[in-house]
Amino acid sequence: MNRARITEQSEQQIKSAASSIAAAYRELKKLGSKGEAGAVLDLYEKVKTQQFAIAFCGHFSAGKSSMINELIGENILPSSPIPTSANVVKVQNGTPSAKILLRNKGIVSVDPPIDVSEIKKWAKNGEEIESIEINVDRTILPDRIAIYDTPGIDSTDDAHKVATESALHMADVVFYIMDYNHVLSQLNFTFIRLLKEQGKKLYLIVNQIDKHNEKEITFREFTDKIKSGFKSWDIEPEEIFFTTIMDRSHSGNQLQEIKTLFQKFYLAKEEWIQENAFSETERLIRKTVQTCLDLDEDRNREAFETAEGEDENASEQKAVHFLGKMETLEKDVVQKKADAAKRFKDILDNAILMPFQTRELAKNYIESRQDSFKVGVLFASKKTEAERNVRLHAFYESVQENIKTQINWHLKDYFHAHSAVMKEEPVLSLERLAALIKPGASLNGNYVLQYCNDVVEDIKRTFMSHYRPELDQITIETEKNAQAEIQQYKVLISEQENILAALRKTKEVRQKWISTESMLLDALYSEQNHAVAMEEADLVLAAQEAEVSKLTVEDLKKNANSSEETEILDNVPNGETAVNRAKTGGPSRLEDEAEKLESAAAILSRLELMKNRSDDMKRFSERLLNRDFTVSLFGAFSAGKSSFANALIGEELLPVSPNPTTATINRIVPPDQEHQHGTALIYFKKEQDLLDEINLSLSHFGKKAGNILEAIQAAGQIDSRKSSDKLRPHLQFLMAVHRGFSAIEKQMGTEMSISAAEFKAFVADEEKACFTESVSVYYDCALTKMGVTLVDTPGADSINARHTNVAFEFIKKSDAILYVTYYNHAFSAADREFLIQLGRVKDTFELDKMFFVINASDLAKDSEELIDVVEHVGDNLRRFGIRHPKLYPMSSYFSLLGQKPTGELSQEERNRLGSKYQELQGQELLQRTGFLPFMNAFMSFLKEDLADVLVNSAINQFQQSKFMLERLIDEAASSQKDRERKSQELKNTCTNMLQTMEGYSLQQKEELLQKEINELLFYVKQRVMLRFTEFFNEAFNSSVITGSVKEQKNALHESWKELHQRIQFDLHQESRATILRVEKYILYLLSEMHEEMDQALKRFNGPEYHMGKEDIQFKSLEIETKLHEAEGKETILKEFKNARHFFEEGGKKNIMEKMYTMMENPVQTFVDDSAGVFYTYYLSSFNDSVHSEISRRKGDAVLYYEGLLKALETPGLLETMKKSLLELNQL
């Protein structure tokens, strides 16, 4: 087949594909789906132009722009370790030029030459500029190839936006680039999963592998760990590449493989363009249909909620079953009523009331009623009447007994069976029996039977009439009971009818959209020629082009200049300024004052009167010389904390890994008599602490364990496939616990001594580290020789909730805080919260003890880029409330190498040093790495700034001792007569002075303390509620609320939990900051108290008293107050319709405003509860401090006056005291 024929076929295929996509566009447009229809229109144009698109995504610091520049062989895109691109940049073949597409539909054409610095500025303007198109010569980029540089991501919310809003629908292939130090992060997993869900051909690039240190982990182990990490997350990309642009000769560098892959793309582009266009259009169709279905579900919400979890066949069967039951019940009630009446009648009818004996008695009575019946001769009439009555009574008693046994007993059972009360039976009278005998009746067998029948029938009528109301009530109750049951069945039948109606409605709605989807897919995949649809699509494209307003570069610059604000940073230290700030040379002030105090103590020790003062000064001198410092190290995972600590120590002591490890607390402490250099103590977690941590992680999976064995078992039963990206850290912790427990079980709650070399496994090996509470390594180095204990704390993003309390204690008690951030690593949400907390408490410290280190500064291309990064970090710190941060860019890695003797360096290390710093060595090298500027400032702080407080105390002690000695000399110089008078005066003065101290009232100070606590906590609520919108947006974000409407609603409840947790966390953090503010205020009250007391005691001319603030320590209140659940949240959450309505149609704003109002009461309750706890706790602390200080003051006063009295009593010491004073003045 000739070339022309092939070209003709290819053009026909392209036209056919474009025709099909145009048809899909037209149908989508009819549905009113602007976003998805617009994306399909983009794909239509893409198929027509046959442009193959390659998209680059990734963390802003991963080197996307540099990689693109490398692959196209031209430095076109701006690259920087800080965020530069807030919009999509498209590079394509064409006449060299650029187009800037504005969000207001304007367009700016930029003619060559293109100013890269200007593009860099425009790329940062994401609010006004939607995208930038750069056309390059075909020698740089082949014809019909486009490369997209998407905005860098540094949060899961960014990830979702980039995945959905940055033209990724146009990409035939996606490359996701990751920084070597931040590969296995949740952010990466979340974004990559989003890309895979979109069905993209995905390639992963682990960039900047020149950072790899073979000593830390072999490159093979590193790559294997990365690949297995992604596999554990069920992520299978087309391929994973490992690259570096900085070190092209690196043995693991796969840059060439990527370039070769680009050539394959070009050869197969036509097939891939069509394949991607159809699959992407199909995805957009399904997304549109799902959105329409969601909206329809919302319109028919009641039907869908009713039908949820129901089955049509089962509902029909239930309805038939309930109907049958109801009909049977209706028949039963008729039968029951008839049975009830018949049963009563049967009791009467079956009653044997006239057995033989009774009939005989009846016969006798009838006989007595005959006219011929007479008894006796004398008084015959009376005797006859008496006999007649006897016979009547006998007959009556017999009938009554028969009624009792034949009727009454059975009626009791009858009424009981019908749950009715049997009223008192009817009374049968003697007169009635007599009246039933017919006049003139003769005695014969027939009449006796007739009479007995008449009596029986009369009794039946009487009973029937007597119990008629009860019988009627039984009938009513029978029907009533039956009707209640019948009504229940009617309700059940109605429910099933409603369910069936709902099922039919949902089936109808779903079928409608299934049919719509089928119709849309038919339009897409039909082989018809949709010429009309193509014409319509072409007209829309032309209209869009016509709508664009043309602007000039000058217009764009003018707009940018009018809105841009530049903040001048006032504290960005570089190497030179940091060195200038350091105070170097000679012994420290602490050492000077310690020596001075020791000399003074020796001088005063010769005087028995000054023995106590001498001992105090000697102890304080020793304290100055043996001063210990606690320095805490903070930073997020992979910020390089461990490598920075190693640089401070001067050796590779702490394990360094580019992968995250479970958080433990590592202390580097000076060796002592019990622990030699190189010894490590491992402190294992207590069983209850471990159980609490496991239960915290289990709670995210709906589980809880009662004991440690149950917890370990539950940890191994979590289905990793059902775990969300957010829960991965908890899942990994649980898996490590499950795998490692058997080996550690017997060591829980104990400590173990090992060598420094062995301890690394308890930090780096997750299956051991998760059981390790802390590690203390006793190590002899320059830092520990100064008395410094270096604490390497858990990362700010640790999942261990207890670490928040631990971090607070370290922040409070540390002499210095070092926060390490990575050169090209943005602050995560966890970093942000920690830094905000530092900002909250910074002003409560007497000295600014915080140092911020920007690690890996060797990654800077030049000094200009380094300044940009320092400004960027400083800007962020100020945003978090940390004013005037002390910033130090530094390369920990090269700083450590620079401290090693050249002979101890490996060939690789020598090569790296030579490549980066050429021939620099020693102090000059360490100056360039940033190590010396930092260390000079840091050591100056430890030796000088921190010393000021102690030095002032030392000076006060010295001055007080001189003052006392001068008084002693004055008293000893008195005459005998004066000494006697003064002795009594001193005793009286001492007594009066002590009484004045004891009478000091604390009421006003206590009231001020309560007022301060209330005011501080009032502002806690204000600040927390000011952040409500921020917390809400983070919890209720579009990357979480996804899937079907049902899944969205489930996610909504999870988002609510997260919001509640964020608010509670912030309340706790604010409360912790308030603790420091309250403690600072108590110190102020104590200072004020001492000033007032000084004023009150001035008249006694007593000793000067110095309050040693450094000796006043408070045991901080532990925050245990909980944020109560808010009432009404379910009602508010029910207002959620679907994700589209929530995010695009105002639903989010409505729910957020109502939740804000709802949360005010629980937050206020938290603050109110806290106020009481705070006041009770700190009132006690304040009173204890006051009583302790007054006690010390009284003790000093007593010693002072005792010394004066002794001086009066021993005037012979005068010359010795004068000599001692002279020696003190000479110090």
- 508-565 per-position pLDDT tens digit: 888 888 888 888 888 888 877 778 888 888 888 888 777 666 666 666 555 544 433 3
User: For the chain, which residues score pLDDT lower than 50?
Assistant: 1-6, 9, 560-586, 662, 799-800
The SS3 of residue 755 is strand
Instruction: Indicate if 782 and 731 belong to the same structural domain.
Output: no
Residue 1038 maps to a domain: yes
The 10 Å CB-count burial string (b at 16+, else e) for 699-718 is ebbebebeebebbbebbeeb
848, 935 contact by CB (below 8 A):
no
Q: How many C-beta neighbours within 10 Å does residue 400 have?
A: 13
Residue 872 maps to a domain: yes
Residue 886 maps to a domain: yes
Instruction: Indicate if 755 and 743 belong to the same structural domain.
Output: no
In this prediction, residue 853 carries a pLDDT of 94
In this prediction, residue 584 carries a pLDDT of 37
886, 937 contact by CB (below 8 A):
yes
In this prediction, residue 308 carries a pLDDT of 79
Residue 510 maps to a domain: no
In this prediction, residue 573 carries a pLDDT of 40
Nearest Cα neighbor of 1147 from 528, 512, 295, 422 is: 295
Instruction: Indicate if 675 and 711 belong to the same structural domain.
Output: no
Residue 509 maps to a domain: no
Instruction: Indicate if 721 and 677 belong to the same structural domain.
Output: no
In this prediction, residue 377 carries a pLDDT of 65
Measured distance CA(1140)–CA(1144) in Å, rounded: 5
**Side-chain-side CA neighbours of residue 900 (13 Å):** 18
Nearest Cα neighbor of 289 from 506, 39, 502, 31 is: 31
Nearest Cα neighbor of 1188 from 1090, 1060, 1073, 1088 is: 1090
Residue 559 maps to a domain: no
Instruction: Indicate if 718 and 781 belong to the same structural domain.
Output: no
Measured distance CA(1020)–CA(1170) in Å, rounded: 11
In this prediction, residue 64 carries a pLDDT of 84
- Strand pairing category for 751-755 and 549-551: unpaired
Boundary-marking domain end, from 723, 748, 773 = 748
User: What's the total number of domains in the chain?
Assistant: 5
972, 609 contact by CB (below 8 A):
no
CA dihedral 1183, 1185, 1187, 1189 (to 10 degrees): -150
Q: What is the pTM of this model?
A: 0.73
Element (H, E) at 286: helix 269-299
Instruction: Indicate if 68 and 185 belong to the same structural domain.
Output: yes
Instruction: Indicate if 735 and 849 belong to the same structural domain.
Output: no
Measured distance CA(717)–CA(734) in Å, rounded: 10
Instruction: Indicate if 673 and 785 belong to the same structural domain.
Output: yes
User: Looking at this protein, which amino acid is placed at residue 339?
Assistant: D
DSSP designation for 942: I
The SS3 of residue 551 is strand
1142, 1052 contact by CB (below 8 A):
no
Nearest Cα neighbor of 123 from 159, 162, 77 is: 77
The SS3 of residue 146 is strand
Instruction: Indicate if 641 and 710 belong to the same structural domain.
Output: no
Boundary-marking domain end, from 891, 924, 956 = 891
Give the CATH number, domain containing residue 675: 3.40.50.300
Instruction: Indicate if 1043 and 1183 belong to the same structural domain.
Output: yes
Measured distance CA(564)–CA(1097) in Å, rounded: 61
Instruction: Indicate if 1036 and 1115 belong to the same structural domain.
Output: yes
Residue 5 maps to a domain: no
Nearest Cα neighbor of 120 from 147, 149, 85, 154 is: 85
Measured distance CA(562)–CA(760) in Å, rounded: 56
The tokens for 592 are: 């000077």
Rg of the chain over Cα atoms, rounded to whole angstroms, equals 48
Instruction: Indicate if 1199 and 1082 belong to the same structural domain.
Output: yes
The 10 Å CB-count burial string (b at 16+, else e) for 1057-1070 is ebbbebbbbbbbbb
The burial class, CB within 10 Å (0-12 / 13-18 / 19+), for 907 is exposed
Q: Which domain holds residue 741?
A: 687-748
Residue 972 maps to a domain: no
- The answer for residues whose C-beta is within 8 angstroms of residue 1010's C-beta and 6 or more apart is 1175, 1179
The tokens for 445 are: 């067998």
Measured distance CA(929)–CA(907) in Å, rounded: 20
In this prediction, residue 1011 carries a pLDDT of 92
821, 1056 contact by CB (below 8 A):
no
- The answer for residues whose C-beta is within 8 angstroms of residue 933's C-beta and 6 or more apart is 573, 574, 575, 576, 578, 579, 582, 888, 890, 927
CA dihedral 225, 229, 235, 237 (to 10 degrees): -20
Boundary-marking domain end, from 826, 858, 891 = 891
